[in-house]
């Protein structure tokens, strides 16, 4: 009985202890060492890779060969691979433990916004209420740039759903 009580006490300590999540500095920067797809990059931070999920946007899927997925990846790569970038963030991680942020390249371009302007990303309204991103998407749609050339483009969140 005493063993059971001791075991429950020890387990409750582990279960109620907060998990230490790393806090990143607000002036986070690092060299882009990988581009997974249009909205996911890896930077070298503190001598190890840190995966960044671009905030406010969702790019077409590259793995499931969604139209414009390869172009979105190429755009991101062309505009930041090998560069030191700044990451504007709120220390929030997505469900895949990626730091969510806006990426500013060496020339001062906000990659997240440029992807939407170029018609290579949707404003991800499920996770963003930004009126600026909504306006950028609306303009890209109006001028039919990038994926908006397609009369019925499929959003990535629908493309990812099992058929």
Assigned token pair, 133: 């991103």
* 128-157 pLDDT per residue, tens: 999 999 999 999 999 999 999 999 999 999
- Whether 53 is catalytic is yes
Nearest Cα to Cα of residue 79 among 39, 132, 20, 127: 39
Q: Distance between terminal CA atoms of the chain?
A: 53
- Which listed residue (21, 51, 61, 160) is catalytic? 61
- Whether 61 is catalytic is yes
| Per-residue model confidence (pLDDT) at position 1 | 53
* 65-93 pLDDT per residue, tens: 999 999 999 999 999 999 999 999 999 99
What would the CATH number be for the domain defined by 22-147?
A: 2.40.50.90
- Whether 141 is catalytic is no
The domains of the chain are located at 22-147
């Amino acid at each position: 009985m005493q063993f059971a009580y001791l075991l429950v006490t020890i387990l409750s300590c582990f279960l109620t202890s907060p998990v230490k999540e790393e806090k990143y500095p607000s002036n986070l920067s690092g060299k882009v060492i990988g581009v997974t797809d249009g909205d996911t990059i890896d930077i070298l931070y503190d001598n190890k890779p840190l995966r960044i999920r671009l905030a406010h946007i969702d790019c077409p899927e590259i793995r499931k060969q969604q139209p414009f997925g390869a172009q979105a990846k190429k755009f991101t790569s062309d505009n930041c691979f090998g560069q030191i970038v700044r990451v504007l963030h709120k220390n929030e991680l997505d469900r895949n433990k990626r730091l969510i942020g806006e990426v500013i390249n060496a020339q001062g371009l906000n990659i997240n916004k440029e992807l939407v302007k170029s018609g290579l990303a949707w404003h991800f309204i499920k996770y963003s209420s930004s009126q600026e991103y909504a306006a950028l998407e609306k303009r890209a749609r109006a001028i039919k740039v990038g994926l908006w050339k397609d009369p019925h483009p499929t959003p990535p969140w629908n493309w990812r759903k099992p058929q």
